[in-house]
Structure 1
Amino acid sequence: MAKAYTYSRHGGPEVESFAELPRPVPGPGELLVAVRAAGVNPVDWKRRAGYSPLGAPAAVLPAVFGGEVSGVVEQLGEGVEGFAVGDAVFGNTVAGGYAEYALLPVAVAAHKPEALSWADAATLPIAAATAYDGVLQLALPPGATLLVTGAGGGVGVAAVQIALHRGLKVVGTASAAKKEFVESLGAVHVASGPGVVDRIRAAAPQGVDAVYDLVGGSALEDAAELLADRARLISGADRETVAKLGGAAVARERTAAVLDAVAELVLDGALRPLVTATFPLDRADAALRAVEEGHARGKIVIEV
């Protein structure tokens, strides 16, 4: 049996609990991994609440939290090539990562470079890969101005850095408390909240060429006002609202090639994962609360 952090039904934190589960068995095209670190993301608590990400199957309850891990290959499923027992890997999980063991589909698993820490590697499959996919989707030329809403969160931190690496100018909205943090990334900080449109216009008097939204709701609606061409509006947080506004959801690639690309950005110094807090597995509840309550800066990681 192996420890895991689970939710038994859809709801709030009251449905969460630790459990001892049988060690998973890899199916065809899967890796069984002994988890070393698991990234914590807003989608984790949103799935507990009943949200189903675009293209993702509904959770089978009870479910294990988490969608990204790094670890060591313990067992290979049928037909797996390019991996061996003992390999250090990172990737997206089949069904949960806040656990001692997790399954990874080889299509979204990659070898972890030796110079990349377990914690940093565990932040890349969801947050950094989503950021990478979105910035490439917008395909802005160097010198263009990108507005990132929610620039202080896990995906936002990566999106700002990747955009700057590609020669873009970046304006990032975040709470006033995150001003210094956002500016440390190289973005122009604009405080979120009422009146944000006027503040963005003052910070970018030449206008913004595209918006990468990571907040949704009214923040997305406000940001859309700044664009004449809604084809340059994408959201990784609110696919319904962005569609109504004439934009698009972030088109996720979900490939090993993207994982290799973001890992290379980290090794080159272009992308800092910015793990700002780590928690042991037996404090997975505290790690999730830090993200759910919106106080986290950068990435939160569970170390196993």
Structure 2
Amino acid sequence: MSKAYVFTRHGGPETQALIDTDRPDPGPGELLIAVRAAGVNPVDWKLREGLRRPGDTGERVFPAVLGSEAAGVVVAVGEGVSGFAVGDEVFGSTLAGGYAEYTLLPVTIAAHKPAALSFADAATLPVAAATAYDGLRQLALPEGATLLVTGAGGGVGVAAVQIARAWGLKAVGVASEAKREFLESLGAVHVASGDDWADRVPGAVDAVYDLVGGDVLTRAAGLVSGPGKLITAGAAEETVAALGGTRVVRARNAAVLEAVAQLVVQGDLDPFVTARYSLEDAGKALRAVEEGHARGKVVIEIGEQE
């Protein structure tokens, strides 16, 4: 038996529990890992409340383990797996939830963890950093171009600003006044959020990466023109299409994970892990993210660490 932090039905925090469960077995193309760290993201509580991702089919089976990303050590490999072996340190997107002592990773969205990368940092990359990377690659802006990021103070936004700077772009970040100093420390031009934020943007922008949606997305759309210059991870495809933009297209592959890991290793991307919790305190970790009290990334650490 092993421990996992789950939700037992759709709803609020009252549905969450730490339970004993059977250790999963890896199927074809899967890795079973002993989890060392799991990232905590807003999507975790949204899925608990009933969010269905694009492509989700069928009904969720309960209890369902929380978490979408994890890092750990391979303890078994499924049929047809190559390039991974027992004992390898890896990270990736989870099939069976990351808030657990053991979880499954599909080899298509798993990568070897560089020795210079901590388990905690690695566990934060598959969701926020990879989404930021996918969007910037989609925009394909030339060096020197100006990128405006809405919701720049969140996990994806902080990663997007850093990657943009590493790629020679000028980053303009829209976020609360409280995050001005933080964003400016990343090399971004800060624009305070509020109803008239678009009027305060200093000069022209070449593209917008929206992470908020709603009225913010509508105002952002007025700052750019031309196909492919407005992308969003904060609104539905039909909403952004009506404004002349598109959703971020997620690659969800090992190559992206390897790329963002290398950005961390070479010092161009800091995941900003600011809070660490045990598996027993996973509820507190998720509550910190759900209530918006966390600044930086939150991780749940399990088992031995470096």
TM-score tier after normalising by the smaller chain length = over 0.9
- Aligned partners of 2:95 and 2:174: how far apart in 1? 33
1:139 aligns with 2:140: yes
The letter of the residue matching 2:208 is V
Between the aligned partners of 1:40 and 1:242, the Cα distance in structure 2 is 27
- Paired letter, 1:199: R
Distance 2:225 2:244 in 1: 11
- What is the rounded CA distance, in whole Å, between the counterparts of 1:48 and 1:148 in structure 2? 28
- Structure 1 contact 153–296 (Cα < 8 Å) conserved: no
Give 1:3 deviation, angstroms.
1.2
Tell me the distance in 2 between the aligned counterparts of 1:298 and 1:10: 27
Q: Determine whether 1:50 maps to 2:47.
A: no
- Higher mean C-alpha deviation, range 191-200 or range 76-85: 191-200
Length-normalised TM-score, structure 2 = 0.94
What is the aligned partner in structure 2 of residue 210 from structure 1? 207
Task: Give the aligned residue type for 1:139.
Answer: A
Output the TM-score relative to the length of structure 1.
0.95
User: Which residue among 229, 249, 257 is the counterpart of 2:247?
Assistant: 249
Q: For residues 230 and 10 of structure 1, do their structure 2 counterparts lie closer, same or farther at Cα, with a shift above 3 Å needed?
A: farther
Cα deviations by residue, 1:251-298 (Å, 9 ceiling, x for unpaired): 011111111111111111111111111111111111111111223222
Q: Any residues of structure 2 matched to 1:1-304 within 5 Å, and which?
A: 1-57=1-57, 59-200=60-201, 204-205=202-203, 207-229=204-226, 231-240=228-237, 241-304=239-302
Unpaired segments ≥5 residues, structure 2 = none
3-state SS, counterpart of residue 89 of structure 1: strand
Whether the 8 Å contact between 1:230 and 1:245 is mirrored in structure 2 is: no
Higher mean C-alpha deviation, range 49-58 or range 105-114: 49-58
**Unaligned stretches of 5+ in structure 1?**
none
User: Quick check: 182-191 or 25-34, which moved more?
Assistant: 182-191
Judging changes above 3 Å, is the alpha-carbon distance between structure 1 residues 187 and 57 closer, same or farther for their aligned structure 2 residues?
farther
Report which stretch shifted further, 212-221 or 94-103: 212-221
Q: Secondary structure at the match of 1:231?
A: coil
Paired residues of 1:94 and 1:104 also in contact (CA < 8 A): yes
Cα 1:57/1:87, change in 2 over 3 Å = farther
Separation in structure 2 between the aligned mates of residue 189 and residue 103 of structure 1, nearest angstrom: 40
Give the Cα separation in 2 of the matches to 1:84 and 1:276: 31
For 1:83 and 1:249, locate their aligned partners in 2 and report how far apart those are by CA, in whole Å.
33
**Percent of residue pairs identical:** 67
- Call closer, same or farther: CA 1:294–1:229 in 2, change over 3 Å: farther
DSSP-derived class of the 1:229 partner: coil
Report the Cα distance in structure 1 between the residues aligned to 2:34 and 2:148, rounded to whole angstroms: 39
CA distance in 2, matches of 1:24, 1:101: 7
Q: 2: distance between equivalents of 1:123 and 1:187?
A: 22
CA contact (8 A) 1:24 1:32 kept: yes
